[in-house]
């Protein structure tokens, strides 16, 4: 039972971090049990663990939902992520291996391809690959783990600006100059570029969330 619940926890986390499950989406025990082909007991156990870790939240008489952050919580989260992502860029620029370079370039190529066809879902996954490649290239296990934890709550919101016309192309352009700075060994410049990239996105989100809330309530 524990192994089943652990796998469910991992699977649900991935769906939240990849944007398949979005903030505010409800998790129905019966539907999840049918989809994953398990009984309701490990589903309930997984949901309870994810609520305790802050990935999900419960609402009285309504059940469990993907956690929705307030505008302040979201900006606070992006501020922390921006600093840590910038640090990853600085460290990566100082200790690149051939494998690191190839992984970062693959992530960038995926972003470019997805932006060319304006595929938001593909871009979301490519964006994760690009950022994760930079995290891994930092070589700092503590930093990598902290960023992995942040991504669980952050990634669902990172995809929202993709709906803005031209954002995929703009994001890809930002990725390109970050990549160039890292590969040239200019860690401080790469750090500053990444911080700006993250905070520009973060500052847009409160207005986007407000618009979505207004649409939902109309």
Q: What is the DSSP string of 112-164?
A: HHHHHTT-HHHHHHHHHHHHHHHHHHH--HHHHHHHHHHHHHHHHHHTGGGGS
| pLDDT value of position 163 | 67
Arithmetic mean of pLDDT, 107-112: 97
CATH class held by domain 71-217:
mainly alpha
d(CA 204, CA 156): 14
| pLDDT value of position 68 | 84
Residue 201 scores a pLDDT above 90: no
Residue 1 scores a pLDDT above 70: no
d(CA 74, CA 89): 22
Question: DSSP labels for 56-103?
Answer: EEEETTTEEEE----HHHHHHHHHHHHHHHHHHHHHHHHS--HHHHHH
Model pTM greater than 0.85? no
d(CA 214, CA 52): 29
d(CA 131, CA 155): 11
132-155 b/e with 16+ CB inside 10 Å = b?
bbbbbbbbbeebbebbeebbbbbb
Q: Closest Cα to residue 108, out of 190, 178, 166, 197?
A: 178
d(CA 138, CA 131): 11
In the chain, where are the structural domains located? 2-66, 71-217
Q: What is the CATH number of domain 2-66?
A: 1.10.10.10
The pair of structure tokens assigned to 15 is 């769906």
Within 10 Å of residue 3's Cβ, how many Cβ atoms? 8
E strand or H helix at 27: strand 26-27
3-class DSSP state for residue 184? Answer: coil
d(CA 213, CA 34): 30
CB 124 within 8 A of CB 81: no
| pLDDT value of position 212 | 54
Task: List, for residues 138-188, the tens digit of each pLDDT value.
Answer: 999 999 999 988 887 787 777 776 666 778 999 999 999 999 999 999 999
CB 177 within 8 A of CB 89: no
């Amino acid at each position: 039972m524990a192994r089943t619940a652990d796998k469910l926890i991992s699977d649900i986390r991935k769906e939240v971090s990849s944007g398949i499950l979005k903030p505010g989406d409800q998790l129905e025990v019966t539907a999840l049990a049918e989809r994953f082909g398990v009984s309701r007991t490990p589903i309930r156990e997984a949901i309870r663990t994810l609520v305790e870790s802050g990935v999900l939240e419960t609402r009285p008489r309504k059940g469990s939902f993907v956690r929705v952050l307030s505008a302040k919580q979201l900006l606070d989260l992006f501020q922390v992520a921006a600093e840590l992502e910038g640090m990853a860029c600085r460290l990566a620029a100082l200790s690149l291996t051939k494998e690191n370079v190839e992984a970062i370039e693959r992530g960038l190529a995926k972003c470019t391809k997805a932006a060319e066809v304006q595929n938001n879902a593909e871009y979301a996954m490519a964006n994760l690959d690009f950022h994760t490649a930079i995290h891994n290239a930092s070589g700092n296990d503590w930093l990598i783990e902290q960023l992995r934890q942040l991504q669980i709550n952050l990634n669902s919101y990172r995809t929202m600006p993709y709906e803005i016309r031209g954002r995929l192309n703009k994001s890809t352009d930002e990725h390109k100059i970050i990549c160039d700075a890292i590969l040239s060994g200019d860690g401080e410049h790469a750090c500053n570029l990444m911080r700006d990239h993250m905070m520009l996105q973060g500052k847009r989100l409160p207005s986007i969330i407000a618009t979505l809330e207004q649409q939902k309530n109309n």
